[in-house]
Structure 1
Amino acid sequence: MNEVVNSKTQNTEFDKLLAESINKSNLKEGSIIQGIVSEIEDDVVVVDIGAKVEGRIPKREFIFQKDQKELEAGDKIDVYLESLEDFSGACRLSRSKAKSKEIWAEIEKSFESGELVEGVITGKVKGGLSCEIGITAFLPGSQIDTRPVKDISHLLNIPQKFKILKMDVKRNNIVVSRRSVLEEMHKEVREERFLQLKLDDVVDGKIKAITDYGAFVDLGGYDSLLHSSDITYKRIAHPSEVLKIDQKVKVKIIKVDPEKNRVSVGMKQLEEDPWHKVKDSLKINDRVNGVVTNVTDYGIFIEVENGIEGLCHKDMLTWSQKQNSKPGNLYARSQSVECQILDIDHEKRRLSLGIKQLSPNPWIKFNENNPIGTILETKINSIKDNIIFCSLDEEIDGAIFSKELSWEN
């Protein structure tokens, strides 16, 4: 018990002596003092200023050094004493605040000359990111990258170059851009890569972005357009049906525009044209099986061979005009159907198809069974504009005009 009391007494006396020593020294909070680097860790520099505990300064505060001299244990450096002992018992020091005037002058020179500065992104703030370039700078969200970035974790605490966009000494405000640096780098790479790309070359690429009208393919530093019509001979509703982000693809250069520095590529050009395959195999009046690939107000599209698609106009679906008025009520995508080839145009790559031709024409049978003058019982479906519409058969409708209802007007 006495040993514990003696230990506490010794600690109290030590704290008093240390406090007196600190008071007699130049360790005043809010002042710039000299310290000695005692240890260099992965993320922090440990500095001894003769206080109760050593101070720990983030390494990023040392990043802006014109001479790029490496810090070593034993080096004497100027630091700003923020607090001898904060609420957690730590001594808070700052290198950037001690060197702020010097760093501001150097950054201003870089700004005026258009030089890039090196720094690290430290975290998120309102409207963008916070950067350390020797002193704290603001990186707006629009200046992070050439494309919107959702996850910034891969950018944090990585040394990289920035361009200074604006400086305000009075407000202690610096705005920087990472996007400007990337754009300049991309421009140089694009120009060099563009000169290497030749018409009809087959090159490897990677899908970078997918849009409603196609995809952008990275050809190794140069982005080219892969239009949806050049992806495949098959009908697709959206490029995402056959392509994925970061997918590796082989493409053929189909267009080079030196004036606009644009390159267009195609994937289907590496396949055999399916129309060449069926030139002699498909004939008019042939009955073929196919799959519905699209349904529109004017008819349905049917793929009868891989990459060979034809239109069955709505008038060719059934013998009933009423049913044909809404093709979507009769057929759906991916539905298997049998149809007949009505016309082939190899030059325009058009195929006209019919489905109703596979069933007997109900009008012929109706006329045979009901010659002119036959009296029939019918069911009234609707009355519109003084016309009575009625059903004569499952697929045959009739119309009675008002003047035919009676001999009297």
Structure 2
Amino acid sequence: MTEEMNLVEVKNFEVGDKVSGQVTKVEEKQVIININDCKLDGIIPISELSSLHVEKASDVVSEGDQLELEVLKVEEEALILSKRKVDAEKSWANLEEKFKNGESFNAEIKDVVKGGLVVDLGVRGFVPASLVEAFFVEDFSDYKGKTMAFKIVELEKEKNRLILSHRAVVEEEKGKQKNQLLESLEAGQVVEGTVQRISDFGAFVDIGGIDGLVHISQLSHEHIDKPSDVVQEGQKVQVKILSVDRTNERISLSIKETLPGPWTNISEKAPKGSTLSGVVKRLVSYGAFIELFPGVEGLVHISQISHKHIATPHEVLNEGQEVEVKVLDVNEQDQRLSLSIKELQERENEFVTDYELPEESKGFQLGEVIGDQLKNLKK
């Protein structure tokens, strides 16, 4: 091609024109293009190949590639072209639509830089370190080349500013899962969970993406002073759902109700007729409540406390006192135990111990007095 012909061809183009062409040669710092529909060559400087920094032109294009380009300069024998500007123009329109709709999309991490990650979307997208994950990441070196889902959180075309977030995608997905889980939960269900946090008033348990509270009163059938006495963070537990407040996203849980109750199989632990040790827990006007096992109390009616007549249980018993009792009756369904202390005591000779000597006989031997009474009975 003569210089005159080149000059004529070049003069047919203006800055900003859109052209297409085929890559005929890839050099280290530039790419040679044959413009379609004419015999004119164009040059793409390496800086105009991508919105990102490029070390070698061959990292972006190969011989034979068909490209859409924009004219940057019209020189005497060639056109200076840009692939980057065409890609960016197409991308901005697409990205604005995604931003408007809150759409998420996948993209490859092209580079790891100070403060975050770089993504090529036809324009340079930046992911600040704080928006990469929902958890702290110390080293991002393994992220290069990784494909991740992103949402656009800031877009300013005039400033060429595009801020992306993978964390937003993760949190949105968690939110959807949380809502689905809330809808599926019903009081009475038993599910597995993991203890996340322990407080003075109970334990928070993760049941699949949402935390529920096990109040301290629902941790055990036995009285406990603090939740850490029975559960630890990270522990897997079975919990029963007591209530679900979907509006406030509050779930009440119970570990206690998934455990065998203290009265379970009480007929085997305290069979009728057996003798057991217990502790006096409460004294009332009609008897004494004896704790035989943690959470299991039985009643010794006042009539079963002593062979002697007593007005109140306080006459012979004290709270905290250890006693031996005999099981008179077991009712597991109603959680009742009837006990007796009296039946384990020998019956005293009431005739001897309760007899009051007449005043006039106090100088005589007891045997003589009784002997005289017996004689009188024989008459």
TM-score, length-normalised on structure 2? 0.46
Q: Which of the pair has more CA radius of gyration? A: 2
TM-score, length-normalised on structure 1? 0.43
